[in-house]
Amino acid sequence: MRVGIFGGAFNPPHIGHLVCAQEAHAHLALDTLVWVPMGQPPHREIEDDPGREARYTMCEYATSADERFSLSRFEIDRDGPSYTVDTLRAVAESTPGAELFVILGADQAAALPTWHEPEEVLSLATVAAVARAERTREMVVDAVSSLAGGDRVVFFDMPRIDVSSTLVRSRARAGQPIRYLVPDKVANYIGAQSLYGSSQPVGAER
């Protein structure tokens, strides 16, 4: 069984996340891709964080209709910093024999040497990085070359989508439509809960 692990703040989850997850599932021939919204990031605060449960709920709304995806509460429910190595250990224990893949952006993959127990991460899973340009792939390869298991990094491509969680939050705060940038259920939830400073439903059907 081939299992992808897709972690992040997902604040909120948007179409870029969904396309990345889809492309990872296809290119890596995954049986399932598990979304893992983080609890407490180790090195930074989550900007404009509406709370763990709100981010989990938005991920649920974004992914529940797609049988290729599943959703994990492991980091949401865990106290202390959310380390990828702990998540991988938990997944490996719950799905013995599964081949694990960690889905990362190129910048995240290049920063792997600074992670908590990076070589253990590489021993537990294949790092699969999104990287369109050859020079970007070379940057990642150079960054992880000193790590044991660094040669296990693989790459996949995805269409360029210039949507970010920061953009969605900014538009919600300004009362601008966010429909088509996030799934309709996520847009409705953001408006109904007045997340990110929004004061009314912003961009989905009412």
What digits encode the pLDDT tens for the residues 100-158? 999 999 999 999 999 999 999 999 999 999 988 888 999 999 999 999 999 989 999 99
Report the 10 Å Cβ neighbour count for 94. 11
Question: What residue ranges of the chain are covered by domains with CATH 3.40.50.620?
Answer: 2-160
Q: What local confidence, expressed as pLDDT, does residue 133 receive?
A: 85
Distance of CA 122 to the CA centre of its chain: 18
Cβ(45)–Cβ(9) under 8 Å? no
CATH no. for 2-160: 3.40.50.620
Q: Would you tell me the crossing angle of helices 52-63 and 15-27 to the nearest 10 degrees?
A: 60
Q: What local confidence, expressed as pLDDT, does residue 42 receive?
A: 86
CA distances from 10 to 26, 90, 117, 141, 158 (A): 21, 21, 23, 26, 18
All residue ranges of the chain with pLDDT < 50 are 206
Q: What local confidence, expressed as pLDDT, does residue 206 receive?
A: 47
> Is the overall model pTM greater than 0.85, yes or no?
yes
Q: What local confidence, expressed as pLDDT, does residue 203 receive?
A: 58
Q: What local confidence, expressed as pLDDT, does residue 43 receive?
A: 78
Which candidate, 88, 80, 90, places its Cα nearest to that of 104?
Answer: 88
Q: What local confidence, expressed as pLDDT, does residue 125 receive?
A: 98
d(CA 106, CA 112): 10
